[in-house]
Amino acid sequence: MKQRILMVLFFFLIQDYCLGQNLRQWDRRIDSLQIQYENASLDSVRVQTAIKLMDVLGNKAWIATNTGQFAVAYEAFRKAFDFWENPETIKIFEKVKHDNEYEKSYWSVLANLTFNYGHLMGATGNIEERLYYYQKAYQIAKEQEDVMNTVFSLTGLAFVYLTNNELDSAQMKIEEARSYPPELYNFEGYPEIKYIDGAIKLRLKLYEPALNAFWDGLEDAIEKDYPVGKATNNLGLSETYRYLNNMDSSYFFARQSINELRRIREIQMFEIDIASAYQNLYGHFRHFNQPDSAFRYLEQAQVERSVLTKRKFANMAAFQQVLLIRERELANLEKENLAIQSRYRTYLFVFVLTVFLFIGGILIRANRQKQKANLLLARQKEEIQSALHQLKSTQAQLIQSEKMASLGELTAGIAHEIQNPLNFVNNFSEVSAELVDEIRDSRHKTQDTRPKTEEDEIEDEILEDIKQNLEKINHHGKRADAIVKGMLEHSRTGSGQKELTDISNLTKEYLNLAYQSFKSKNKEIEIELITDLDPSIPKIELIRADIGKVLLNILNNAFYAVGKGHVGTEDALSLPPTITVSTKNLGNAIEISIKDNGQGIPDAIKDKIFQPFFTTKPTGQGTGLGLSLSYDIVKAHGGEIRVKSLPTDKAGEEGKGTTFIITLLK
């Protein structure tokens, strides 16, 4: 953008234009450029047209501001901002971003537009907004290295700080503006820069530097025939010479400023007008003690001020009306936006709710399917575990059966080989004993007919020894025979077929069997039987005969323990012999407990009682295979057998004795 605002000001701020121009020609140009912009087919043409349109809108807004037509200026600025910051305009410039000149032009226009809008805010008394837009323009220009708009913005900021009497800040900003060589911005605005520089120095009472600044500004304005620069710097020189008590120079430059301001009437940027010029002459005559002349120019200043004030009030009223309309439009637009947002939120809520319901339905359906799948998997797992348990049990049973079969084959062979010699030993020992008895009988008969000699006594003793030896041979032969039969019993298996069995009834049945067997041999011993059989235990599959062997072996041991511990010994216990049998449903297993109050099992041999051929019974009364057989059978059924025992003292302390616990899985 090669046109500059201050050069436009020079052209347009002549008296006739300021008072009579209605800006209609600007509106016609604006409409024409808008049509060209909309009909342009090439992006480069649209960009060039947009820049020209912004020149015209900016010039219209600037002229309207400086002629006091604030409402017109505001509408022009708003139209310019709305067009320039429109996403469509920005998109067009992005398309030609490869051309740096277009990009620089965009930011230069935006910075200049923002800076000039700050002038409007200052002219309408909105000081904070004026400062804000000057600072914003400075940031844009500084970032884009736009020297001209950077200098303009710094000049505006300096004047705001000067107006607020913040002289340090004002001086810092004007010094930064002066740091840029005028050649970089073609000396445009140079008279204003010098005027503000001089005004700051004048306020600081630096009169000679102030005179130099005003003279530089005036000379540049005269060279350019720039009315604003001549009016401001003449006024500054008049005030400075007055402070230096130079009456002639003060009066001369005061008159020069009046001559310029009669043509342009007012300068909105610096808040200077014709009334200010007459007020300056009033100050001049008052300072040099000429009250008549001072009073005359004071009246003239008041007349001009009254005219300008009425005009400004009218312009401000129009400006306020435009602002009010704008606020109403914004309020209505905000209401519409809120309504649209509300509708969008409602639609969004309905949409989100629908999505959530849909997703929820899918999740519920998936969850149900998952639950069904989990139930199916649980059932399948349970079935697999049951099958696995059954397989393990069957496998254990098969292993046990194979072991028993192998042992049976082995013991069958042993029995075949041992049984015949044992039979010969037993038979011949019995026959020999009978022959000994016959010999003794025949000898007794012959001894009746003759006297008994010493040899006869020796022979009787020998025969007696032979008979005792034969009895021992027969006794131990029968023991060997019992061992062989026990081994055969250990290796013998039942049918191997599992069947549904009521554990409580089976336990009760074998308890009665063991009790009757014990009573047939020990009629003098009274045993108390206590049963606690759980009726809720369901039937389970097992090999009835094998579990019966287990129960019978343990019950026989229990009856033996209470019989030995309570009768016929010095250590007989004082409590009556008692056997307690109970069954309990553990949920996934069944527990059978057989407890006696006998003398118990010492700790030293507890770990050996399930070993084959280990027995605590006297020689000839046990083979040591009963508990070993029971242990293997329970393991083959997938269960376990445990023993709890504390030796009972002589006083028969309660809670001692032996308890066998059998656990069978369902």
Q: What is the CATH number of the domain that holds 566?
A: 3.30.565.10
Domain edge (last residue) among 156, 184, 214: 156
Cα 376 to chain centroid, rounded: 33
Please name the helix (run of DSSP H) or strand (run of DSSP E) that holds residue 553, with its range, or none. Answer: helix 544-566
The Cα 55–Cα 72 span in angstroms is: 16
Q: Does residue 564 register a pLDDT over 80?
A: no
Q: Does residue 409 register a pLDDT over 60?
A: no
pLDDT at 15: 35
Residues 5 and 115 grouped into a single domain: yes
Residues 614 and 661 grouped into a single domain: yes
pLDDT at 339: 62
Which has the higher per-residue pLDDT, 628 or 245?
Answer: 245
Specify the range with the lowest mean pLDDT, choosing from 9-18, 239-248, 420-429.
9-18
User: What confidence tens digit (pLDDT) does each residue in 177-235 have?
Assistant: 989 998 887 777 889 899 999 999 999 999 999 999 999 999 999 998 989 899 999 99
Residues 484 and 359 grouped into a single domain: yes
- Alpha helix segments (H runs only) across 244-290: 247-264, 274-287
Q: Does residue 593 register a pLDDT over 80?
A: yes
- Per-residue confidence at 21, pLDDT binned at 50, 70, 90? very low
Q: Is residue 45 part of a domain?
A: yes
Average pLDDT estimate for 157-169: 92
Q: Is residue 478 part of a domain?
A: yes
Which has the higher per-residue pLDDT, 3 or 386?
Answer: 386
Q: Does residue 11 register a pLDDT over 50?
A: no
Residues 477 and 541 grouped into a single domain: no
Q: Which sign does the torsion angle of CA 218, 221, 223, 227 carry?
A: negative
Average pLDDT estimate for 278-306: 88
Highest mean pLDDT among 186-190, 402-406, 548-552, 654-658 belongs to: 548-552
Average pLDDT estimate for 632-639: 83
pLDDT at 327: 55
- Per-residue confidence at 566, pLDDT binned at 50, 70, 90? low
Q: Is residue 552 part of a domain?
A: yes
Q: Is residue 180 part of a domain?
A: no
Q: Does residue 1 register a pLDDT over 50?
A: no
Residue 414 neighbours by CB distance under 10 Å: 14
Residues 4 and 142 grouped into a single domain: yes
Return left, alpha or beta for 615; rule: phi > 0 is left, psi -120 to 50 is alpha, else beta: beta
**Residue 510 tokens, joined:** 């074998």
Residues 505 and 486 grouped into a single domain: no
Which has the higher per-residue pLDDT, 97 or 114?
Answer: 114
Highest mean pLDDT among 101-110, 421-430, 495-504 belongs to: 101-110
Which has the higher per-residue pLDDT, 495 or 394?
Answer: 394
Q: Does residue 451 register a pLDDT over 80?
A: no
Q: Does residue 580 register a pLDDT over 80?
A: yes
Q: Does residue 140 register a pLDDT over 90?
A: yes
Q: Does residue 331 register a pLDDT over 80?
A: no
Which residue reads 């309020």 in tokens?
331
Q: Does residue 246 register a pLDDT over 90?
A: yes
Q: Is residue 239 part of a domain?
A: no
Domain edge (last residue) among 123, 140, 156: 156
Average pLDDT estimate for 528-536: 88
Q: Is residue 633 part of a domain?
A: yes
Residues 504 and 592 grouped into a single domain: yes
Four-point Cα dihedral 26, 31, 34, 35, nearest 10: -140
The proportion of the chain whose per-residue pLDDT surpasses 70, expressed as a percent, equals 72
- Alpha helix segments (H runs only) across 164-189: 167-178
| DSSP 8-state code for residue 599 | S
Residues 510 and 618 grouped into a single domain: yes
Which residue reads 């504390």 in tokens?
646
* Mean pLDDT, all residues of the chain: 79
Average pLDDT estimate for 158-181: 92
Residues 543 and 657 grouped into a single domain: yes
Residues 516 and 456 grouped into a single domain: no
The proportion of the chain whose per-residue pLDDT surpasses 90, expressed as a percent, equals 24
Q: Does residue 343 register a pLDDT over 80?
A: no
Residues 113 and 8 grouped into a single domain: yes
Residue 511 corresponds to which amino acid?
Answer: L
- What domain range includes position 43? 1-156
The Cα 321–Cα 384 span in angstroms is: 89
pLDDT at 518: 81
pLDDT at 654: 47
Q: Is residue 246 part of a domain?
A: no
Q: Is residue 623 part of a domain?
A: yes
Residue 284 corresponds to which amino acid?
Answer: H
Residues 504 and 418 grouped into a single domain: no
Q: Does residue 472 register a pLDDT over 50?
A: yes
pLDDT at 6: 36
Angle between helices 274-287 and 247-264 (to 10 degrees): 160
The Cα 11–Cα 23 span in angstroms is: 14
Q: Does residue 161 register a pLDDT over 90?
A: yes
Domain edge (last residue) among 128, 156, 184: 156
**Pairing status of strand 528-532 against strand 578-585:** parallel
Q: What's the domain count of the chain?
A: 3
